[in-house]
DNA sequence: ACACCAAATGTAGTAAAATTACAACTTTGC
DNA sequence: GCAAAGTTGTAATTTTACTACATTTGGTGT
């Protein structure tokens, strides 16, 4: 795909002069795309047809087509592909790979979100008497984050890490309460039990989990996120980010539903934090 | 920057014929980059110089240069632009906007990360006797997440929400301990104080924060993330995601440094979770 | 309504760029 | 060391883009 990578890989197939062209291009690709075939030939100290042959060897139609491909490779943000980390990767490689595959996963997640469910859940949340966020393991920090967000809305919001506290909290639920349960797999036993407890106490249960899972089956509403997880790392990574982004979506929907006046309230909450901070020069 | 957006925006400045060209290009940009000025002129039903003038109006050197810009816009599809949520947005719009601007922010964050610092911090973490993760407010959940990740590595790892516990923990630090402090603004007073306490007890302090902030100045190493935050919402959103992704990067670097054998250990940790879960059909 | 001016568009010629065909030169194997 | 295959360069050809100028269009003031 990426023509720059292709140049480095095909290196063996190049002839001596073609390699000269490759070097010049790799050394300064940004200049290459703005040069004519003549100037590039001069820079590489070869003839114009050689440059042309070089382009064709890379399966492009000719020099202008090659420049197009090169320009696309140089455009920042190259396609976000889910690239797995390799054992031999250096810091530069794995950093970029992680960022890129996170972005790729978000794109997949975005497409799997059902906006109708989002809308109804936002409805529920705005009307809720009490909102609870529960998750375990890696999803606990997502629930924790949701607490932080919804707490600012001046809504009774609950979050516990302890499963006994979670159970007790759900026991005391009543009509009008919303319980949001977060789990990537949707197979965590105690979370499924909590869903059952909450529902039998007339709470509405929303699951941010994988569709068709045991947990999903116990929920009134399911916000399913299909996120490809790199299982080689044995750690939840992309799923968490997708869950958090979904929390952001819900929080945003919430504030929009509440209107402008409510937004000012948020600003006040933020302003009270000022005392705990060093002022920014110029504030 | 993005020439496609530029075309849509500049629409008013175009003349009648130029608008015809714009339409044809917007309708099928992929074809446009592979066409000559003559064929594009014929498609738009205008003359060749008109196409050329159209290109110049968009501040390009001429038609070939314009094609280059267009190709870059089409690459990757740099479709991920930071789009602010509008009050009138429906669920579909704000959901997509949040996902897209999160992705855009990750791209910005990726470019702002200094991989050399990443490498040194990974070094530190692999050699650390004890690792602490502290953050407050929105960053608390990031620290919480880091705990969950590094806990799997069978390394002494510490995390507290309570600032007094954080302080006491740092008081007991010694040489070889690493304290990771997370804060978007880097202006939270108590976190800055914690950095000072930790350093005066010979711990190495790593900041995941904004470069040049009061917190950054107190750290031994700073992993600075420059993330544009949509301040209209009065909530930290993108910054959190970028921080989490950076934690993933560090965790990944950690496992890579520890080698293959260590990876198997991670698998064992994951396998012990199985008892708490409903089996997946086919496991 | 007409003349006039400015902006917009097109025509035709020109310059530049890329490609092709072919010749000269290397390299490789026997 | 010579032939054959492969590589590179020169020069001609073709394609492409650009410029200068002519024509048309649309609008403004008398």
What residues have CB less than 8 Å from B152, skipping those under 6 apart? A234, A235, B266, B269, B270
Mean pLDDT throughout B21-48?
Answer: 84
Tell me the percentage of chain B whose pLDDT exceeds 90.
33
Domain boundaries, chain B: 3-74, 114-274
Token couple for B239: 């910054």
Residue B63 to chain A, least CA–CA distance (Å): 12
- Bridge-based pairing of strands A157-159 and B130-135 is unpaired
Among protein residues, the one whose C-alpha sits closest to the C1' atom of D19 is: B49
Using alpha carbons, select from A105, A149, A81, A110 the residue that is nearest to residue A237.
A105
Tell the residue number behind the tokens 């890696």, with chain if given: A138
- Contact between A266 and B64 using a beta-carbon 8 Å cutoff: no
A3-74 to CATH, choices 1.10.1660.10, 1.10.10.10, 1.10.3720.10, 1.10.150.130: 1.10.10.10
- The confidence score (pLDDT) of residue A62 equals 86
Tell me the percentage of chain B whose pLDDT exceeds 70.
83
| DSSP-derived 3-state class of residue B110 | helix
Backbone Cα Rg of chain B: 26
Asked if B154 has any chain A CB less than 8 Å from its own CB, the reply is no
**B237 contacts on A by Cβ (under 8 Å):** 248
Among protein residues, the one whose C-alpha sits closest to the C1' atom of C7 is: B15
The integer distance in angstroms from the CA atom of A53 to the C1' atom of C24 is: 18
At the topology level of CATH, where does B114-274 sit? Rossmann fold (3.40.50)
Q: Provide residues 17-36 of B with CB closer than 7 Å to any strand D atom.
A: 36
- Inter-chain Cβ pairs, chain A and chain B, closer than 8 A: 228
What residues have CB less than 8 Å from A168, skipping those under 6 apart? none
Confidence of residue B2 (pLDDT cuts 50, 70, 90): confident
Q: How far apart are CA B24 and CA A115, in angstroms?
A: 32
End-to-end CA distance of chain B: 50
Q: How far apart are CA B240 and CA B102, in angstroms?
A: 10
A114-271 to CATH, choices 3.40.50.10490, 1.10.340.70, 3.50.50.60, 3.40.50.150: 3.40.50.10490
- The confidence score (pLDDT) of residue B283 equals 41
- The confidence score (pLDDT) of residue A222 equals 93
pLDDT higher than threshold 70 for residue B263:
no
Candidate from A110-119, B26-35, B99-108, B258-267 with smallest mean pLDDT? B258-267
Confidence of residue B104 (pLDDT cuts 50, 70, 90): confident
Chain A, window 6-25: residues with a beta carbon less than 8 angstroms from a chain B beta carbon: none
Candidate from A27-31, B97-101, B138-142 with smallest mean pLDDT? A27-31
Token couple for A104: 């790729």
pLDDT higher than threshold 60 for residue B31:
yes
Asked if B1 has any chain A CB less than 8 Å from its own CB, the reply is no
Q: How far apart are CA A127 and CA A257, in angstroms?
A: 11
Residues of chain A with pLDDT under 70: 1, 9, 11-12, 75-84, 229-236, 259-283
pLDDT higher than threshold 60 for residue B258:
yes
What residues have CB less than 8 Å from B38, skipping those under 6 apart? B48
The integer distance in angstroms from the CA atom of A5 to the C1' atom of C27 is: 29
- Contact between A107 and B103 using a beta-carbon 8 Å cutoff: yes
| pLDDT tens-place string over residues B176-225 | 899 999 998 888 889 999 999 999 999 999 999 988 889 999 999 999 88
What is the secondary structure of B15-28 as a DSSP string?
-HHHHHHHHHHHH-
| pLDDT tens-place string over residues A69-86 | 888 877 654 444 555 677
Residue of chain B with shortest Cα separation from A190 = B276
Q: How far apart are CA A158 and CA A169, in angstroms?
A: 8
- The confidence score (pLDDT) of residue B274 equals 65
Q: How far apart are CA B26 and CA B40, in angstroms?
A: 12
Q: How would you classify residue B222: left for phi > 0, otherwise alpha for psi between -120 and 50, otherwise beta?
A: beta
> Which stretches within chain B are classed as H helix?
3-9, 16-27, 29-32, 37-44, 48-57, 63-74, 91-112, 115-127, 138-151, 163-171, 189-200, 214-217, 238-258, 260-272
Chain B, window 102-141: residues with a beta carbon less than 8 angstroms from a chain A beta carbon: 102-103, 106-107, 109-111, 113, 115-116, 118-119, 122, 137-138, 140-141
Q: Which nt has its C1' nearest the CA of A39? A: C17
Query: In sequence order, what are the beta bridge partners of B37?
Result: none
């Amino acid at each position: 795909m990426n023509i720059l990578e292709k140049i480095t890989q095909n290196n063996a197939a190049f002839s001596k002069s073609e390699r000269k062209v490759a070097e010049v291009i790799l050394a300064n690709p940004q200049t290459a795309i703005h040069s004519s075939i003549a100037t590039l030939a001069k820079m590489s100290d070869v003839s114009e047809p050689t440059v042309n042959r070089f382009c064709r060897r890379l399966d492009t139609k000719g020099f202008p087509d090659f420049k197009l491909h090169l320009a696309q490779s140089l455009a920042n943000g190259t396609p976000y592909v889910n690239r797995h980390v390799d054992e031999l990767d250096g810091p530069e490689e794995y950093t970029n790979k992680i960022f890129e595959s996170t972005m790729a996963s978000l794109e997949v997640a975005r497409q799997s979100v059902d906006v109708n469910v989002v809308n109804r859940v936002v409805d529920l949340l705005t009307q809720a008497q009490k909102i609870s966020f529960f998750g375990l393991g890696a999803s606990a920090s997502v629930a924790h984050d949701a607490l932080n967000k919804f707490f600012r809305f001046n809504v009774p919001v609950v979050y516990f890490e302890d499963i006994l506290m979670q159970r007790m909290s759900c026991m005391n639920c009543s009509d009008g309460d919303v319980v949001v349960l977060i789990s990537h797999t949707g197979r965590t036993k105690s979370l499924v039990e909590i869903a059952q407890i909450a529902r039998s106490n007339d709470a509405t249960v929303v699951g941010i989990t994988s569709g068709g899972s045991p947990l999903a089956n116990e929920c009134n509403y399911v916000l399913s996120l299909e996120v490809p997880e790199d299982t080689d790392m044995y750690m939840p990574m992309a799923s968490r980010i997708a869950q958090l982004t979904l929390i952001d979506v819900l929080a945003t929907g919430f504030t929009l539903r509440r209107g402008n006046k409510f937004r000012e309230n948020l600003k006040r909450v933020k302003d009270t934090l000022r005392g705990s901070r060093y002022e920014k020069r110029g504030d």
